[in-house]
Amino acid sequence: MSEETTKTMESAAPEVTPTSINDLKPKMQLKGTVNRLELYGAFIDLGIGTNALIHISQMGTEHINRVADVLNVGDEVSVWVDKVDPKRKQVMVTMIPPLDVEWSELDKGQVYSGSVKRLENFGAFIDIGAEREGLVHISELSHNYVKHPSEVLTVGAEVQVQVLGFSKRKRRIDLSIKNLLEKPEGATNEATPQEVYQVEDEIEEDMPTAMELALRQAMGEEMPVRIKKHGGKKKRKRGKRREQQEDILSRTLHVQHNG
């Protein structure tokens, strides 16, 4: 695997002392002094000739009403570079520690070092420093059959994982340990995460809505939940079906009310 596609989590980098705005990079940790407060934030002197702005929303994870509740002129603060524009002489900083791995930095095939956080029957959750923990499905733990993740992993262990895929919308990161292990002769495995997740997605897509449940109750019927087969036009079909069900429900409830 090429070095370009291989990344590992590293411990916090030591503080550096930049001499100009050109030395700044995103996520760089610095120390500065508060030299001015405004309603929307504060200006920080980083010793580079250009004051950095920290917006009130970047002063902590909790809601802040007033800048003065957190900072005072003359305070020494530890900040991280959020955005830097040397041409415009603009620097934005934050007091919220940045993620080691941003969604925009993820890519298939990348390798990270992470810590095992949880073990479930279906796999292990690994912290790689992203917004969400990544999941190593049980089929991606080893080339050999694994009955439970505890057979090969323990909580707190450091492991190397490879990114199989991710979805920012679903807040999901799929990882593999197996891909980084040498495959023994005759090793077999069962369903892949892609196959398992595909089935889970189909079940989720066809779960009854609140309208469907109300319709079943109004009609005194039990309607089985069907798992859709592979095929197109799911969204349009679901939308049309829901419109029909809403119309039926409306008419059914009207009849029951008048009856």
One domain for residues 78 and 133? no
In a shared domain, residues 38 and 83: yes
User: What is the pLDDT tens value at each position of the chain, 259 positions in all?
Assistant: 444 444 433 434 445 578 788 888 889 999 999 999 999 999 999 988 889 999 999 998 889 999 999 999 999 999 999 999 988 999 999 999 988 888 888 999 999 999 999 999 999 999 999 989 999 999 999 999 999 999 999 999 999 999 999 998 999 999 999 999 988 776 555 544 444 444 344 434 444 555 455 545 554 545 554 444 455 555 565 666 566 655 555 555 554 445 5
**Is 77 within the bounds of a domain?**
yes
Query: Do 182 and 198 share a domain, yes or no?
Result: no
Which of 39, 63, 94 lies at the terminal end of a domain, its last residue?
94
For residue 115, list its beta bridge partners: 127, 158
Q: How many domains does the chain have?
A: 3
Query: φ, ψ for residue 82 (rounded to 5)?
Result: -100, -55
Q: Identify whether 70 is part of a domain.
A: yes
Same domain, 138 and 177: yes
Q: Confirm whether 255 is domain-assigned.
A: no
In a domain, 240, yes or no: no
Give the residue numbers spanning the domain of 24: 13-94
Residue 75 lies in a domain: yes
The mean predicted confidence, pLDDT, of the chain is 77
**Do 107 and 75 sit in the same domain of this protein?**
no
Asked whether residue 84 falls in the same domain as residue 149, the answer is no
**Residue 20 lies inside a defined structural domain of this protein:** yes
87 and 42 share one domain: yes
Q: Would you state the structure tokens that stand for residue 200, as one six-digit string?
A: 């889970």
- The pair of structure tokens assigned to 169 is 């919308």
Sequence-ordered list of residues with C-beta below 8 angstroms from that of 128, at least 6 positions apart, any chain: 9, 100, 101, 112, 113, 114, 134, 161, 173, 175
* Judgement on whether residues 58 and 86 belong to the same structural domain of the protein: yes
Q: At residue 101, what is the residue type?
A: V
Looking at the domain assignment, is residue 247 inside a domain? Answer: no
Same structural domain, 145 and 207: no
The verdict on 17 and 81 lying in the same domain is yes
Position 100 scores a pLDDT of: 87
Q: How many CB atoms lie within 10 A of CB 141?
A: 23
Alpha carbons 95 and 73: distance in angstroms, whole number: 16
Separation in Å, CA 171 to CA 98, 108, 131, 176, 215 = 17, 15, 8, 17, 32
Beta bridge partners of 118: 125
Give pLDDT tens digits for 82-126.
Answer: 999 988 999 999 999 988 888 888 999 999 999 999 999 999 999
Tell me if 25 is assigned to some domain.
yes
Answer yes or no: do 221 and 162 share one domain. Answer: no
Pairing verdict, β 134-137 and 123-127: antiparallel
- Domain edge (last residue) among 94, 129, 163: 94
> Are the C-beta atoms of residues 201 and 174 closer than 8 Å to each other?
no
Examine the domain organization and report whether 115 and 87 are in the same domain: no
Q: Which of 155, 170, 186 is the last residue of a domain?
A: 186
